[in-house]
Amino acid sequence: MARPHLHILIEPGSLAKYYSADCLAELEAVYEVSCEPAGGLTAEQVSERLVASGAAVAMTGWGAPGLTAGNYAAAPRLRLVAHFGGSVAMLSVTEGWQRGVTFINCAAGMVDAMAEATVGMMLAVGYQFPVTDRRLRGQGDFGHGYPLSYGLKGKRVGIFGLGHIGRRVAELLSAFKVERL
């Protein structure tokens, strides 16, 4: 039985950076895989590649071109778009769904790291770590008139967007008893 075709629309450099040889070998054991430079492709060129490969699966990610309603119309065999990244906004998801395409992404894999980094940066700014670092490197001491530092406890914090990461930031900030806007 013929294996389904996976067309990778990720730059080869990014592919090698984020996917191990073992991971790619596992994909090749299940799919017929094609990959080519994808940066700068027009919507028409993406359609041509999806049609030519007969792709049932397209893998997209950072640096990959978006997918359009025209891409889905031109590639009726396409059933799954696996996106290496969080946002699928550039993939015309509604149009894909209307043609029976399923979408997956790896947003959940990035949530904790991004939320922790966000809270870490908030703490770094509040405690003025960058200023302290520059002063210590330049003067060797804190000098007089060193500004007071402030933590997060009890502060008012605004979070713009309560997606996966925003909700996790809010959860982490609850330990500081912040007032959330």
Q: Domain boundary residue among 76, 105, 134?
A: 105
Q: Domain boundary residue among 105, 131, 161?
A: 105
Number of domains in the chain: 2
Domain that holds residue 128: 109-180
Helix-then-strand count for the chain, H and E: 8, 7
**For 51-95, what is each residue's pLDDT tens digit?**
988 999 999 887 788 899 999 999 999 999 999 887 888 899 999
Specify whether 115 is located in the same domain as 64.
no
| Ranges of H-type helices in the chain | 12-18, 21-30, 43-53, 69-74, 93-98, 107-126, 129-139, 164-173
**For 126-181, what is each residue's pLDDT tens digit?**
888 887 788 778 766 666 666 666 889 999 999 998 888 999 999 999 999 999 88
Report how far residue 148's alpha carbon sits from residue 126's, in angstroms, rounded to the nearest whole number. Answer: 9
Closest C-alpha to 60, from 23, 17, 15: 15
Specify whether 52 is located in the same domain as 89.
yes
pLDDT at 29 over 90: yes
pLDDT at 12 over 80: no
Using pLDDT thresholds of 50, 70 and 90, give the confidence band for residue 113: very high
Specify whether 69 is located in the same domain as 144.
no
Specify whether 78 is located in the same domain as 118.
no
Domain at 161, CATH number: 3.40.50.720
Report how far residue 18's alpha carbon sits from residue 80's, in angstroms, rounded to the nearest whole number. Answer: 20
Question: What per-residue confidence (pLDDT) applies to 146?
Answer: 63
Specify whether 95 is located in the same domain as 28.
yes
Report how far residue 152's alpha carbon sits from residue 24's, in angstroms, rounded to the nearest whole number. Answer: 43
User: Is the Cβ–Cβ distance between 59 and 33 less than 8 Å?
Assistant: no
pLDDT at 112 over 90: yes
Contact residues for 68 (Cβ-Cβ < 8 A; gap 6+): 43, 46, 92, 95
Specify whether 129 is located in the same domain as 42.
no
What residues are paired with 58 via a beta bridge? 7, 81
Specify whether 96 is located in the same domain as 139.
no
Which has more confidence, 136 or 4?
A: 4
User: Is the Cβ–Cβ distance between 92 and 72 less than 8 Å?
Assistant: yes
Q: Domain boundary residue among 105, 133, 163?
A: 105
Specify whether 95 is located in the same domain as 114.
no
Specify whether 23 is located in the same domain as 97.
yes
Specify whether 129 is located in the same domain as 79.
no
User: Is the Cβ–Cβ distance between 93 and 116 less than 8 Å?
Assistant: no
Tell me if the pTM is above 0.85.
no
Report how far residue 34's alpha carbon sits from residue 148's, in angstroms, rounded to the nearest whole number. Answer: 57
Which has more confidence, 84 or 120?
A: 120
Using pLDDT thresholds of 50, 70 and 90, give the confidence band for residue 37: low
Specify whether 89 is located in the same domain as 14.
yes
